[in-house]
Amino acid sequence: MRVLALPLILALAACGESEDKVENTLITVSPSDVGCIRDVAEGFKSLFYDQGKVREAYETFVAEDYKQHNPMAQDGREAAITFLESIFEANPQQHMTVHRMIVEDPYIAVHLHGQSGPDDLGAAAVDILRVENCRIVEHWDVTQSVPAESVNGNGMF
């Protein structure tokens, strides 16, 4: 089984199809299939946010013509991979902790804490991803530095 077939396998499994039929079957999953979007959310979270496997996550779950709204990054899947891999290489202790994900067709919202190392207060971020045909096709993000102290004591996570 190829990793790229994972979203398709998960979609077929939900419909009662066996893995054997996946290798030789071409199907189109509706972008409104919330199960597909949940599978993309969970798979991308695991590979990218949890394991830091940038290339594998993006080649598996992101469309080639991925549209980027972060003004510091270019459009396209390969541009995103290059941009993110350089960040991970420059910060080998980079760590992201996902605190919550909201999946609402066709969007995935990821609230996370990014740190460049264990002593870094880091930043709170929200990534908003739009899914179409079981692929992430668009990305927005907002980021805020985590302060040493909180006026209200609630914390950011």
Domain of 56, in residue numbers: 3-145
Neighbour count for residue 130 (Cβ, 10 Å): 18
Nearest 5°: the CA angle 138, 139, 145 is: 180
What predicted TM-score, i.e. pTM, was given to this entire model? Answer: 0.76
Domain assignment present for residue 82? The answer is yes
Both tokens of 88, joined, read 């991970």
Instruction: Please give the torsion angle defined by the CA atoms of residues 41, 46, 47 and 49, in that order, rounded to the nearest 10 degrees.
Output: 90
- Is 44 among the domain residues? yes
For the chain, residues with pLDDT lower than 50 are: 1-29, 31
- pLDDT for position 9: 32
Q: What is the pLDDT, as a whole number, of residue 99?
A: 98
Q: In CATH, what number is assigned to the domain containing residue 55?
A: 3.10.450.50
Q: Answer whether residue 155 is part of any domain.
A: no
Number of domains within the chain: 1
DSSP bridge partners of 145: 123
pLDDT for 35 equals 78
Q: Is residue 151 part of a domain?
A: no
Say what the pLDDT of residue 34 is.
Answer: 67
The reply to whether 69 falls in a domain is yes
Given this model, what pLDDT does residue 31 score?
47
| 150 found inside a domain | no
